Amino acid sequence: MDEREAIRLCQGGDKESFRFLVELYKDKTFRIACLILNDPAAAEDVTQEAFWSAFRSIHTFELGRPFAPWLIKIVVRCSMKRLSKKSIQVTIIEKDDLNVADPRPVPDRALQAKETTDCVRHAIEQLSPHLCSSGRPISSIC
């Protein structure tokens, strides 16, 4: 099967013959989408989208014309559409709208932390010296 025959069969409704065109142009269309998008995953999606679009509109293709430029135009259009969807949305936030928590500890939490530290230190001091394997007095560990 050649390209022209595959296109003719596709225009007649043969889905399997389109597989021939996909195999013939998948690498080229992927490279073009990659060049435009600079993102292989997005390029893969766009390539599939472009082939799907080409399949749906294959009946509009003129058999005497070259297929590659027609398909590439679809790939470029799909890639540009993807780029326009990826445009960055900027939201301006007023200073008063920011509700940033103060990184310093809340006074009662700081007091709780100190009490917990004191309690643990006192409990360590109550341990017998042989429980400490470092050989240093337990009070020097904390």
Q: First-to-last CA distance in the chain?
A: 82
pLDDT level of residue 66 (50, 70, 90 thresholds): very high
**pLDDT confidence of residue 138:** 46
**pLDDT confidence of residue 103:** 55
Cβ(142)–Cβ(124) under 8 Å? Answer: yes
Domain boundaries in the chain?
A: 3-85, 106-140
CA distance 5 to 11: 10
Which pLDDT tens digit goes with each residue over 12-26? Answer: 988 899 999 999 999
Domain 3-85 has CATH 1.10.1740.10: yes
Position with higher pLDDT, 121 vs 80? 80
Overall pTM > 0.85: no
**pLDDT confidence of residue 111:** 74
Asked whether residue 88 carries a pLDDT value surpassing 90, the answer given is: no
Instruction: Give the residue from 34, 35, 33 showing the smallest Cα distance to 75.
Output: 33
